[in-house]
Structure 1
Amino acid sequence: MQHVRDILILAILIVSFATLLTVHVALAGLLIARVRPRWQGLLAFLVPPLAPIYGFREGFRRTSALWLTAVLVYTLALSASYIF
């Protein structure tokens, strides 16, 4: 039973991290493509916590919410991996 739990936690870690990376690149790309000044998108790409802040401010609410959700799920799964 412990192996099943470990595999489940690992799968959640992989999927949530992949989702976070994908959404982060997409959000930074949206900011670079559609928002002036463009340096904010580049800064959001290089400093990840700025991406959802700039995204919410510029109206990319769903993408920013997905970014935050992916971070939350990844953090919870990482915590679970240490606890269990």
Structure 2
Amino acid sequence: MSMCNCQTMARDLSETHDGRFPPSLHAPRCEDFKHFEFARITCDMGCFIVPADERDGVCENLDDPYQVETVMLTQDQFDKLPEYDG
């Protein structure tokens, strides 16, 4: 089992998308850095992010107009996001 060396890499934190998301544990050039597709849903109730495969089910239950944006995050970035409490 190989261990990553991204803790020694110079980081520009581009994966935060200008600070909109938490930084990843792994640097973008690290072999353990893997993006997954998520959906950022914005509506009158606020904004929340769900895995892409849950997007349609969530949107079906929204009564208000909404916008959906695809975002690519690592699993640990998604796990660090605050829980939606609306």
Whether the TM-score (by the shorter chain) exceeds 0.5 is: no
TM-score (norm 2): 0.26
Greater strand share, 1 or 2? Answer: 2
Higher RCO (CA-CA < 8 Å; seq separation 6+): 1
TM-score (norm 1): 0.26
Greater helix share, 1 or 2? Answer: 1
